[in-house]
Structure 1
Amino acid sequence: MSQAERGRTVARIVQREAATEGAGVSINRVMPIAALDTVDPFLLLDEIRSDDPGAYLAGFPPHPHRGIETITYMLAGRMHHRDSTGGNGVIGAGDVQWMTAARGIIHSEMPEQSDGLMWGFQLWLNMPAAEKMATRSSYLELATDAIPTVEGYRHRVRVISGAYGGKSGPAPERTVSPTYLDVAIDAGGSFAIDLPDGHSAFAYVFDGEARIAGTAIPNGGTAILSGDGPVSIASNAGGRLLLIAGRPLREPVFRAGPFAMASARDLEQAFEDLRSGRFLEPA
């Protein structure tokens, strides 16, 4: 097949849903929802976006995670993170927080503001079964200045993870080689990237509109991509989206609440460890 014949297309489009998370925070849930469970190796994507303090002030008090990595990306507002490894920091507009829950972590994410716009995303990245309990939990902050922006024809791309336009994102290397791009396209602009063959990929349009491989994606829509090779994105009126891809693990996933394990027994063990006080130092 020639390069001209290759290219990713839109397999289907799913609309986000309103949900509540944490201690009563209003969010937009991209996945998991009834129409979209996961996009292996990604297990969850939430968006928080509100200028109503009542919708976000309750925050996300201390809670556990095991078996995943959480990636928080802020566009506006400030969120204070604390965790059981000693991780402690405030992330603001443009910053990223990369937390490796692995064998077990307890953390909180609380608003560091009492008014104004709070806008950001949290993505859950699954970990390979062999790494879930063999990896130490950790916390990493990626400041906005460390995240490169690539300017193109009527588009701008922030490279959080993966590579584009000769720039590589500052995120840590991972087995699934994730790509995480924030793509802003001006009216009449276009953008294209050749994603690695075999990688799962999706795009979430969170502002304006976009056309992916000629298919219109509305605001709040998630396009699940199929095929291999390059993906082409354009916008008539202007839009902004997250483009996310990674090598699928193709492993069983047993999820409940904040845990994602590779077997029912491992999932049961996570809750047992939490109840018995052995969660942070599993046997």
Structure 2
Amino acid sequence: MNIQVIPSHPSSDGAGVKIQRVHGFQNNSLDPFLMLDEIRSDKPDDYGAGFPAHPHRGIETLTYMRNGGFVHEDHMGNRGEIAAGESQWMSAGRGVIHSEMPLQTEGLMHGFQLWINLPARHKMKAPQWQDIKQNELPWHQLQNAQLKVIAGNYHIAGKRFSGPLQQLPGKAAVADLNLHQNSKLTLQSDQTTSLLIYVYEGQLNIGDKTIATRQMAKITDSSELMLASDQGAGALLLNGTPLTEPVAHYGPFVMNTQAEIDQAIRDYQQGRLTD
């Protein structure tokens, strides 16, 4: 088993929203995942300006809220609100223009947005969007933890748990895990997939590594993993089969070649991104 600890770093996006970011664009190290952003603040100035209208091409996004909420609006006329415990999936395909604005003016905002790469054959497909509400995202009570599966499937402590989203690229799986104090838990993992664990609260012990708050662990060559925590931990679990395709990235566009990026920029500038 190999464990690489990846730090997150402070950043900002949208109209100045403060976030913690983990990204793998330089060498596609998180394949099929591209980037994970965490927003966590009870200061309205950190999130109040939101993410005004902006474009995307070539990716899918998955947003998951633990506290607070956002409203999504896009060029297709879609509008949807997600609050604590809910999620939203969007496939940008050939092009989408959307905004994500906060539903609150005070209080704690805590959530995540994950970027997932689309395979080359699907990058120019029609865009799609879906809200996933609380009744579709129950907490599963384990002996020493709670688990919420948002996408894909997980095998934990000898049981299989499935989420409502089953169509993500690379058969991606996403779950929220809360591990109790002084607890251990066994996670089964396919060795052909990428396994990423982002700790957003407390700390997690994996093998001989301690993963602190706002750090990500990338685990390879392991079919069974023991997770443990003395103080308890909240973690986002990410699994996916690497696409092993070249990645060209510029801002909100992710394609396979620089020529395709240049075309996306021209299409956006000329008002043809969503045609």
Q: How many residue pairs end up in the alignment?
A: 271
CA distance in 2, matches of 1:256, 1:158: 33
Q: Which ranges in structure 1 are unaligned for 5 or more consecutive residues?
A: 1-7
Kindly provide the amino acid, as one letter, of the partner of residue 65 in structure 1.
Answer: H
Identity of aligned residues (%): 39
Q: Partner of 2:170: helix, strand, or coil?
A: coil
Kept in 2: contact 1:17–1:33 (CA 8 A):
no
Q: Which residue of 2 aligns with 1:4?
A: none
Q: Which ranges in structure 2 are unaligned for 5 or more consecutive residues?
A: none
Kept in 1: contact 2:40–2:111 (CA 8 A):
yes
Q: Which residue of 2 aligns with 1:148?
A: 138
2:248 is the alignment partner of 1:254: yes
Q: Which residue of 2 aligns with 1:46?
A: 37
2:15 is the alignment partner of 1:23: yes
Kept in 2: contact 1:198–1:247 (CA 8 A):
yes
How far is 1:218 from its partner?
1.0
How far is 1:167 from its partner?
2.5
Q: Which residue of 1 aligns with 2:76?
A: 85
> What are the equivalent positions in structure 2 for 1:33-182 lying under 5 Å apart?
38-133=29-124, 135-164=125-154, 165-182=159-176
CA distance in 2, matches of 1:249, 1:33: 14
2:211 is the alignment partner of 1:217: yes
Q: Partner of 1:113: helix, strand, or coil?
A: coil
Kept in 1: contact 2:72–2:81 (CA 8 A):
yes
CA distance in 2, matches of 1:161, 1:230: 20
CA distance in 2, matches of 1:163, 1:157: 12
Q: Partner of 1:176: helix, strand, or coil?
A: helix
How far is 1:163 from its partner?
1.8
Kept in 2: contact 1:148–1:168 (CA 8 A):
no
Q: Partner of 1:54: helix, strand, or coil?
A: helix
CA distance in 2, matches of 1:159, 1:228: 21
Kept in 2: contact 1:186–1:237 (CA 8 A):
yes
Kindly provide the amino acid, as one letter, of the partner of residue 8 in structure 2.
Answer: R
How far is 1:118 from its partner?
0.6
RMSD: 1.5
Kindly provide the amino acid, as one letter, of the partner of residue 114 in structure 1.
Answer: T
> What are the equivalent positions in structure 2 for 1:163-202 lying under 5 Å apart?
163-164=153-154, 165-202=159-196
Kept in 1: contact 2:28–2:247 (CA 8 A):
no
How far is 1:207 from its partner?
0.1
